[in-house]
Amino acid sequence: MVEMLIAGEREAARSGEEIEVLNPATEEVLESVPSAGSEDVDRAVQAAAQAFEEWRQVDAEERAAKLRSFAELVKANRKELGETLTQEQGKPTMEAGGEVQHFVHGLEYYADLATKVRGVYQPLPSTLGRSYGMVVRRPVGVCVGIVPSNFPLTLTGTKLGPALAAGNTIVLKPSEETPLTMLRLAELLIEAEIPAGVVNVVTGGAETGEALIKHPLVRRIAFTGSTATGRRIMELAAPEMKRVTLELGGSDPVIVCPDADLKGAVKTALIARFWNAGQGCLAGKRLLVFDEVYDDFMSALLDGVERYEPGVGWEKPEKPKIRIGPLTTERQRSLVIDQLQDALDGGGELLYGGDPPDTPEKGFFLTPTVVQNPAADSRVATEEVFGPVLPVWRVSSLDEAIERANDTAYGLGSSVWTHDVRIINRVAQELDAGMTWVNQNHFGYDELPFGGVKQSGYGKEHGIEAMDYYFEDKSVVVGGL
């Protein structure tokens, strides 16, 4: 069993209960991890609260140095971390290596920001003589970071980096499906000499998460996951007015205009939908293509889809094939198949895929799938599809494209392919999304705020803006001088 990290020590659950971790490509048991109960959660939060009193006083330069030291250790162990990620999550080795690199970049980015936090000085009018005001930025306290299964490293970094840079302590909980990569990070945190209790890692399911959120010493919660779970977290956090950021589901539209670079648009549409087997909040989940280029675009798109070959992530296929890994759980694969079947029952036309592949015989694989013109009220149009299914619609005008793009409860990402500045300016204003890419792939940059509108969440991760959620701004007025 791989143990948790509490107060700088490796710990099992007090109950002795464990959770098995499966390899989604082979269905074999990789390891087991503790199933933390409320007593384990309390130990972790208490450790974070005690460590906070010293960590908040640590000079920003020293905090930055600790983050950089940790980042260097991650780089030195990137091969092992990537292999662990592929084994427990299923993504191909190349994708796993990219995720390790992204995690390191985020740590380095927030290490740099740690030393650039500024307060405010403001002279003030007063009948009692000269006065001035200050805004002091104080760390919030004990934070909780709850991380999903699709990007276990990247989405740990978006919480760990700004929390520590701002002087907070944190308790992290990985998905019960993919805890091993984070637990390996815990070992590197000890090696990097991050003080005991500053970072704690507990493992478990929904009950573990609820115990963390409701703990009275927790002041800040950062969650990435489904919209349904996000609503539940808001309910649990509300009685004590805890700060919450929620990065939730998406159903990102991709608009391809008549003047688009079709080669680039096709390449990007494939990556945006089938990267990580379609398990991405920022995946390009709905494709809207103008009539004028529809036939040419679709011909090239289907040629590209045929190159994807389901298989284990640690083996490279023969060129020109491209590896696509499994979904992380059988439950998720079954859900995606049900969503696809609903689209077909409602009149959508299957252009490619639609079934689990014949090989590999084991694993939670699904053939990359393209479905044409499903009904507007079909599940692939109205729900987040967390798997390799791409619905495509023809559109005849920009008005229609924007209307269809916005016809969703979600509002995370969006993109448009065009060289027309008028269209670019219009979609930037009118698409209901937290992010819009122009002639680019859907990718979250550490340097820019990341977050959605509508039911895609609340608050921002990434960028300088993320730091705001890890500080409390306190006004101080000084007079009588």
* Catalytic residue list contains 247: yes
Instruction: Indicate if the alpha-carbon torsion angle 394, 398, 400, 401 is positive or negative.
Output: positive
Peptide bond preceding 24 in cis form (omega within 30 of 0): no
CA-CA distance, 78 to 358, in Å (whole number)? 33
Cα torsion through 333, 336, 342, 348, rounded to 10 = -120
Longest dimension (CA), the chain: 82
Among residues 99, 176, 247, 461, which one is catalytic? 247
Q: Is 361 a catalytic residue?
A: no
The one catalytic residue in 99, 281, 383, 461 is: 281
Q: Angle, nearest 10°, between helix axes 180-191 and 78-89?
A: 160
- How large is the angle between the packed helices 78-89 and 60-76, nearest 10 degrees? 70
Angle ∠(453,437,103) on CA atoms, nearest 5: 80
* Catalytic residue numbers, as ranges: 247, 281
